Amino acid sequence: MQFLPLSKDHTSNNIVPSNTLILLLGTIQLPNFGSASGVLYDGNTFTPYLLTSTSSGSPGTIYTFFSQNTQSFSTQGHVPIGWVIVIALAISLFLIILLVIGGVIADRIRRAQEGYTKAPMSPAIGEGSLERIPPEALIGDMEERRRGYGML
């Protein structure tokens, strides 16, 4: 499909602007005509424009059309590749953060359903319930073993 500009306007309609025709390419069957390779469409009627045939005489097909002045469906420009990368990274970061938050929430819900309670707090260091073991009692055994290995 190719939009072709016109030097003279055709009857206007809601489908095709009055200063443009659409060139349809391929093997197109038109009622009351037969097969055409290129057809012009103004929004109201199809007009055969290009006829082709193969060397065996069967209808041919046109796949592409080259024109100096081309018009496309959209008139907007492309987004630079740098912005595409930045947007993609931002979206992926957002999804990762969303997954982490979802995991934390799911963990909290699971703990609440299992009846999780916090471990009791250990007593403060200054309380009398703690036994103090002097370092010599802990290290003394190690020193004796070291002296015994030195004699071997």
Residue 2: both structure tokens together? 């190719």
d(CA 60, CA 26): 8
Backbone angles phi, psi at 148, to 5 degrees: -70, -35
**Cα–Cα–Cα angle for 47, 53, 57, rounded to 5 degrees:** 130
> What pLDDT tens digit does each residue of the chain (152 aa) get?
778 778 888 787 888 888 888 888 888 888 888 888 889 888 888 889 888 888 888 888 887 777 676 665 555 667 889 999 999 999 999 999 999 999 999 999 998 888 877 666 665 555 554 566 666 766 767 767 777 665 55
Indicate the helix (H) or strand (E) that contains 102: helix 81-114
Count of C-beta atoms within a 10 Å radius of residue 18 = 13
Please, are residues 37 and 62 in contact by the beta-carbon 8 Å criterion? Answer: yes
Q: What is d(CA 64, CA 124) in angstroms, rounded to the nearest whole number?
A: 84
pTM, full prediction: 0.43
Predicted confidence at residue 82, as pLDDT, reads 92
Q: What's phi and psi for 25, nearest 5 deg? A: -115, 150
